């Protein structure tokens, strides 16, 4: 097409979310509080309500004068996420929440409770621009990036549900965070990093969770992996590989045409060297697509070529997505794939998959409303 693009063809304009306490570092928050004509120590009181008590209701902030409470919460704790619907599975220990953002855009997060931990799978973008054909989110295209506040609010609401005993199993603590919901976290680098800093910041600057309990999962945006390696944050990196050869990976993970298997693996190895954190290789086993024994052998060779003890592989049986012709590998084929990696000395564990009956499992998040 020549000439200017008609306005009707451009993507709908989505609004920037209002400023929120969780977008700001402690220094920025102090400045914002001062700008509102309040004393700077109010910043710390607000942070304590938010990060320690997980509270945003001004009525509960009895250590603040009534007028300050209203002014501060209105300016710095606007509502960013409204729950639209929750679905539960696994006897109430898996909870998927559909959220509506301030501009009507929808995203999902999934809370998974285990005997020894509770993990929240957060979205970093509404939709995703990476277009992986086996992933439901990838079929949506990218609507917009989430702000740090919108990511942190998913965390706060889950942490509060845990503390209040709203999840089956009684009161508990949110202990782990994985960026495996909707979106490519490293394509929304700034907001994701700010959100991670709020998660791991010591209370009351953040939720005070260990960086070791955070996993950032990526299709392999090499410059962003290197940048993350330099942040001094020992978060776990997961690389969504899904194939050890460029020919197939370019089909399954289209960004592979920009950064190849070898380039992505080299970046993953550099990440390990910089952080000491063992990298996870994600591998969705798709029947007759990428589950061949020779591909397991090639994967093991490529990982071993880059050293020992720096990586483990997490195969996951493909979760079905609407309209896809692909399906999970047969159990025997899956077992053979795992055995070959293990025999080659690569630690390999099949990833537990939760919530597939509520379309809440990996690759199934599409933020659709119940029809």
Task: Verify binding: residue 184, ligand SAH, rule CB under 6 A.
Answer: yes
Task: Verify binding: residue 180, ligand SAH, rule CB under 6 A.
Answer: yes
Least spacing, CB of residue 98 vs ligand SAH, in Å? 17
State yes or no: is 368 an active-site residue.
no
State yes or no: is 121 an active-site residue.
no
Task: Verify binding: residue 140, ligand SAH, rule CB under 6 A.
Answer: no
Q: Which entry of 121, 132, 135, 362 is annotated as an active-site residue?
A: 362
Least spacing, CB of residue 225 vs ligand SAH, in Å? 11
Q: Which residue is nearest to ligand SAH (CB)?
A: 363
Residue 211-250 contact track with ligand SAH, rule CB under 6 A, x = bound: ------xxx--------------------x----------
Tokens 């007759």 locate to: 288
Do 94 and 110 touch, CB atoms closer than 8 A? yes
Of residues 47 and 217, the one with the C-beta less far from ligand SAH: 217
Sites for ligand SAH among residues 345-364 (CB under 6 A): 362-363
List, in sequence order, every residue forming a beta bridge with 238; answer none if it has no partner.
217, 280
Least spacing, CB of residue 366 vs ligand SAH, in Å? 11
Q: Which entry of 55, 108, 153, 334 is annotated as an active-site residue?
A: 108
Residue 272-311 contact track with ligand SAH, rule CB under 6 A, x = bound: ----------x-x---------------------------
Q: Which residues bind ligand SAH (CB under 6 A)?
A: 130, 134-135, 180, 184, 217-219, 240, 282, 284, 316, 318-319, 321, 362-363
Catalytic residues: 108, 362
């Amino acid at each position: 097409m020549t000439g200017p693009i008609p306005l009707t063809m451009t993507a709908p304009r989505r609004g920037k979310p209002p400023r929120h306490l969780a977008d700001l570092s402690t220094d920025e928050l102090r400045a914002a509080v001062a700008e509102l004509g309040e004393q700077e120590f109010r910043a710390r009181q607000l942070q304590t309500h938010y990060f320690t008590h997980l509270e945003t209701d001004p009525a509960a902030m009895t250590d603040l004068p009534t007028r300050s409470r209203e002014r501060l919460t209105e300016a710095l704790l606007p509502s960013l996420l409204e729950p639209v619907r929750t679905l539960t599975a696994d006897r109430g220990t898996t909870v998927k929440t559909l959220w509506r953002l301030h501009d009507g855009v929808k995203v999902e997060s999934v809370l998974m409770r285990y005997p020894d931990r509770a993990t929240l799978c957060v979205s970093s973008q509404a939709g995703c621009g990476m277009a992986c054909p086996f992933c439901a989110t990838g079929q949506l295209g990218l609507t917009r990036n989430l702000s740090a506040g919108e990511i942190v609010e998913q965390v706060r609401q889950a942490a509060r549900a845990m503390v209040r005993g709203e999840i089956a199993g009684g009161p508990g603590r949110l202990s782990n965070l994985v960026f495996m919901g909707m979106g490519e976290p490293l394509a929304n680098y700034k907001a994701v990093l700010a959100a991670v800093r709020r998660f791991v910041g010591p209370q009351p600057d953040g939720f005070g969770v260990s960086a070791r309990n955070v996993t950032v999962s990526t299709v392999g945006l090499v410059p962003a992996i290197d940048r993350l390696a330099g942040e001094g944050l020992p978060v776990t990196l997961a690389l969504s590989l899904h194939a050890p050869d460029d020919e197939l990976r370019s089909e399954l993970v289209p960004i592979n045409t920009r950064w190849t298997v070898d380039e992505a693996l080299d970046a993953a190895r550099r990440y390990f060297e910089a952080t000491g954190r063992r990298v996870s290789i994600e591998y969705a086993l798709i029947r007759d697509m990428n589950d061949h024994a020779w591909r397991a052998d090639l994967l093991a060779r490529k990982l071993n070529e880059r050293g020992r003890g720096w990586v483990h592989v997490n195969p996951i049986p493909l979760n079905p997505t609407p309209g896809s012709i692909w399906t999970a590998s047969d159990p025997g084929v899956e077992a053979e794939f795992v055995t070959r990696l293990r025999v080659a000395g690569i630690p390999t564990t099949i990833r537990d998959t939760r919530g597939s009956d509520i379309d809440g499992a990996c690759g199934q998040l599409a933020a659709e409303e119940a029809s």
